[in-house]
Amino acid sequence: MGGDKKKSKLKARLPRGLSDRGPAEIAATRRMIAKIREVYERYGFEPMETPAFEYTDALGKFLPDQDRPNEGVFSFQDDDEQWLSLRYDLTAPLARYVAENFQNLALPYRSYRYGWVFRNEKPGPGRFRQFMQFDADTVGSASPAADAEMCMMAADTMEALGIPRGSYVVRVNNRKVLDGVLESIGLGGEENAGRRLTVLRAIDKLDRIGEDGVRQLLGAGRKDESGDFTKGAELEEQEIYSLFSFLQRSLAQPVFRNETEDLNFNWFALNALADLKLFMNSSGYVTGINELTELAKYCSAARYGYGRIRIDPSVVRGLEYYTGPVFEVELTFPIEDEKGNPVRFGSVGGGGRYDGLVARFRGEPVPATGFSIGVSRLLAALKHLKKIEEKPAPGPVVVTVFDRDRIADYQRMVQQLRDAPLDPKKPDGPRIRAELYLGNPRNFGNQLKYADRRNSPCVIIQGADEKNYPRGPKVIVKDLILGAELRLEEDREKYLKKQKKSQRKVAEKRVVSVVREILASHALGSPKTQSANEKRSKKAVKVKKKPTAKRATAKKKATAKKKTTESLSGMRKHNPNNDQKAAPKRSQRSK
């Protein structure tokens, strides 16, 4: 007996920094990715994929915000003793791919890709170890027009996703400008690399902690609200003053009277930067200003003004990564933090020029520029703006099992649906999604609950009475979407009309055409699916948000009706032929 010990159950637990995703989030992500892909392809980019693993040395020193080459990644040693790592972004694998296939690619090489990336970092609120990115890159072009195109494509992507002008901005700077500023205040050279890093990180926090907070981080240091102290760059007061004479150019909030002023304001910002004589002695600063001027010229020519693409000297990205223009997409609409205070949503993507990444493999300069979207963060923004449908995609048609001895018949019916195209005029188009109920068929009501939880548009029912119908086999097709709408219907005539359509008995040979008719009536499987679903969703929300005495009475009647109506779960005991007889009084109607 002592040896008979109960085996301890394995505890189901999700690792820290990771998340599970359900059908609603997956469906919303797919819809968003489809819109992003459409914009990228409109600009002439083509898809490509790289594996999740790369040789660790291929990632090199370009890990985000890390000083040592192998920090921040998940790595293991292969059986040939070489180290492999999960990719931490999609750009380093692209650089390896381009270098490996350089002779076979049409340059400039324009590609897009999306997928999961992995970070071996301490997880926290909003910081995950696995997340999705969607990138586009042009490799082989040193022209500022390629950088301008990335900025324009970023703006077009935001608008394609439903984010209106004024609720986003693409902020642009140049690393050569930043490096020139730091060189001018005495922070050039390898011996000051650590201090430069501290200064750049402080500048990057300008929009979050404000001017006073950045001044503290540039000086001795800053204590945040929690009491934690961050050591500063320990710059002299004059050096801090010089830096802010540069950063002040990013704090302007102009109001434009017309489009011309909007298109021309970037020139005003660039002239103001060129007037800073302290920094114009730096060749890097001058080169950076000239590159930004070219970029602004191309954006202005394409009618992208300051309100959409903005020269902003406070933008800092990729401390070990970028070599020229850098850009960041920021959402400017306000949200509330945990304490209810209004804050900006912040960055959802960014990019820049990285001329040194491919060169690591080839030993010769290979110019490149790119843009990356944080998919999960952008999806959260679209949900906040109610710009994307959060409901899961419609489920399959469910063929129920009324008689377990006839499963072969039901399986044949399912296959008939699966083989049928949604649109008979497009025989090679998408097929009808269908499945056979594979649970315990004893309780028929559970089958209908299952179909409802699967978000099925309709169910197929065939009992012995339908199968042996004198004039040929029949089936009952129950429209679950229309049935759900009956709960909100208060008009008797409309209720009766919908009730008649929600459950129909048809010849078995017509099951495909009737299912097609139901799917088409709800715009399922067609390009109008999303808009139709959104309209129904908004209508339902509107009804729920405005309770009235009339609706309260209707709800009570519906409850009474539900209790007095015979459930479909008892169909095994009654003849379904009676379902289509004259409609009972309102208090006796079923759903």
Q: Which residue has the higher pLDDT, 351 or 557?
A: 351
In a domain, 10, yes or no: no
Determine the average pLDDT of the residues in 218-229. 85
Helix, strand, coil fractions of the chain, as percent rounded to 5:
45, 20, 40
Number of domains in the chain: 2
Return all residues near 319 (Cβ < 8 A) that are at least 6 apart.
64, 65, 197, 200, 201
| Number of continuous H segments (helices) and E segments (strands) in the chain | 20, 18
489 part of a folded domain: yes
Angle, helix 175-184 to helix 283-301, in steps of 10 degrees: 150
pLDDT of residue 563: 43
323 & 427 share domain: no
The answer as to whether 146 is a domain residue is: yes
Same domain? 272 vs 367: yes
pLDDT at 193 (0 to 100):
79
Instruction: For residues 404 and 338, state if they share a domain.
Output: no
Are 331 and 437 contained in the same domain? no
Average pLDDT over residues 243-257: 73
Instruction: Indicate the residue among 354, 384, 414 that finishes a domain.
Output: 384
User: pLDDT-based confidence at 68, cuts 50/70/90?
Assistant: very low
**Is residue 357 situated within a structural domain?**
yes
Last residue of a domain, one of 384, 418, 445: 384
Residue-level pLDDT at 588: 37
Secondary structure in 3-state letters for 134-164:
EEEEEECCCCHHHHHHHHHHHHHHHHHCCCC
Closest CA to 147 of 313, 306, 293: 293
> Is the distance from CB of 25 to CB of 33 less than 8 angstroms?
no
Confidence of residue 381 (pLDDT cuts 50, 70, 90): confident
- Same structural domain, 354 and 408: no
- Confidence grade of residue 453 (pLDDT, cut at 50, 70, 90): very high
In sequence order, the 6+-apart residues with CB closer than 8 A to the CB of 253 are: none
Range of lowest pLDDT (90-104, 257-271, 497-511, 573-587): 573-587
Q: Give the domain-ending residue among 330, 350, 384.
A: 384
Going by C-alpha positions, the residue among 91, 89, 88, 87 that lies closest to residue 137 is 91
Q: Are residues 328 and 245 in the same domain?
A: yes
379 and 415 part of one domain? no
Please report whether residue 515 resides in a domain: yes
| 44, part of any domain | yes
- 417 and 363 assigned to the same domain: no
pLDDT number for residue 319? 54
Q: Which one is predicted more confidently, 513 or 241?
A: 513
Residue type, 575: N
| 311 belongs to a structural domain | yes
- Whether residues 439 and 366 fall in one domain: no
Position 538 pLDDT exceeds 90 = no
For residues 467 and 555, membership in a common domain is answered with: yes
279 has pLDDT over 60: yes
Say yes or no: 404 and 373 in one domain. Answer: no
Range of lowest pLDDT (338-342, 427-431, 509-513):
338-342
Structure tokens at 379: 């999806």
- CATH number at 206 reads 3.30.930.10
373 three-state secondary structure = strand
Averaged pLDDT of the chain: 83
Separation between Cα atoms, residue 591 and residue 578, nearest integer Å:
16
Note whether residue 114 is domain-resident. yes
Tell how far CA 185 is from the center of its chain. 41
Q: In percent, how much of the chain has pLDDT > 90?
A: 47
Which of the two residues, 295 and 75, has the higher pLDDT score?
Answer: 295
Q: What is the pLDDT of residue 587?
A: 36
Query: What's the pLDDT at 331?
Result: 92
Q: What is the mean pLDDT of residues 173-200?
A: 86
CATH of residue 531 = 3.40.50.800
Model pLDDT for residues 486-537, shown as the tens digit of each residue? 877 777 787 777 888 889 999 999 999 999 999 999 888 544 444 444 444 4
Burial 30-42 (b: 16+ CB within 10 A, else e): ebbbeebbebbee
- Identify the pLDDT of residue 251: 60
> Domain span at residue 140?
23-384
Whether residues 318 and 418 share a domain: the answer is: no
Quickly state the pLDDT bin for 576 (edges 50, 70, 90).
very low
Residue type, 553: T
* 540 pLDDT above the threshold of 60: no
